[in-house]
Amino acid sequence: MQPKLLLNFAVIAIVFAFSNSCTQKNIETNKDVVNIIIETDLGNIKAFLYNETPKHRDNFVKNIEQGVYDGIIFHRVIENFMIQGGDPATGAKFGDDSVKLKEFDKTIVAEFVPGLFHKKGALAAARMGDNVNPMKQSSSTQFYIVQGKVFTPDELKILEFKKNENAKNTAINNLIMDKAEKQIDEGKNPNMSEIYAQFKDTIEIIKLNLKPYDFSEEQINIYATLGGTPHLDADYTVFGEVTEGFDVIDKIAAVKTGASDKPLSDVRMKIKIIK
């Protein structure tokens, strides 16, 4: 049975708060920035990790120190979208260690921070889909780097509308299905018409007021010039960004791929912390 998709008023309040502070950053000033270098077969990429996402920062540093990313491959590459790696099973160090691999099979609580978004060069955490991961928790090892593409302001407005309409529909569906599942658990046969009638006022409030995402002026300008993958914003945790090696991102994104978007020739990496 799929996990229940619960959405209560506290969650709605959090969503509103996110919308209203979209352009703000909660900067942690008492922590030195972690700089990293991703050495690949096609060149090096330099990046830094955000202090605003401490759980992801600390987890990524731990993985680097443990050698999780030594010799693994970019196992999923989609041009004009992103390059993905971080699966320990694709490297020599842990590839045959089933016990250790199982330890990596965990998640990290999502850290959606206003102002951190999917511009080109964004470093973000991969995760399982919403159907099995409604809280959008991140993989403990897998990550991707955004290549993306350029969007016009009009395209962004359309995308913004679609994201918000999807959020409204999801909120309403979760509210109704949660009530229906509770009635089933109580041995009742839920009457969907009655449930909709019961939540009529709440549904109207959601339709009129729920707007969880609003592209800031900064985002519109960057997506219209540098580019990125704006449809992933507020759905996947962004925890760092590239400073050098954008051409390397393009080279990796352009390699020929086969089934499941896996490169036909391995592109391996090793990640180090720059002291």
Q: How far is residue 18 CA from its own chain's centroid?
A: 16
Instruction: Say if residue 24's pLDDT is above 50.
Output: no
Instruction: Say if residue 250's pLDDT is above 80.
Output: yes
> What DSSP string runs through 27-62?
--TTSPPEEEEEEETTEEEEEEE-TTSHHHHHHHHH
What's the alpha-carbon Rg for the chain, to the nearest Å?
Answer: 21
Phi, then psi, of 201 in degrees rounded to 5: -65, -40
Alpha-carbon distance of 209 to 221, in angstroms, equals: 26
pLDDT digits (tens, 9 = 90+) for 163-183: 889 889 888 998 999 999 999
Q: What is the CATH number of domain 31-150+227-274?
A: 2.40.100.10
pLDDT digits (tens, 9 = 90+) for 189-216: 999 999 999 999 998 988 887 777 889 9
For the chain, domain boundaries: 1-25+152-225, 31-150+227-274
The reported pTM is 0.82
Tell me what pLDDT residue 21 has.
Answer: 34
Mean predicted confidence (pLDDT) in 27-37: 78
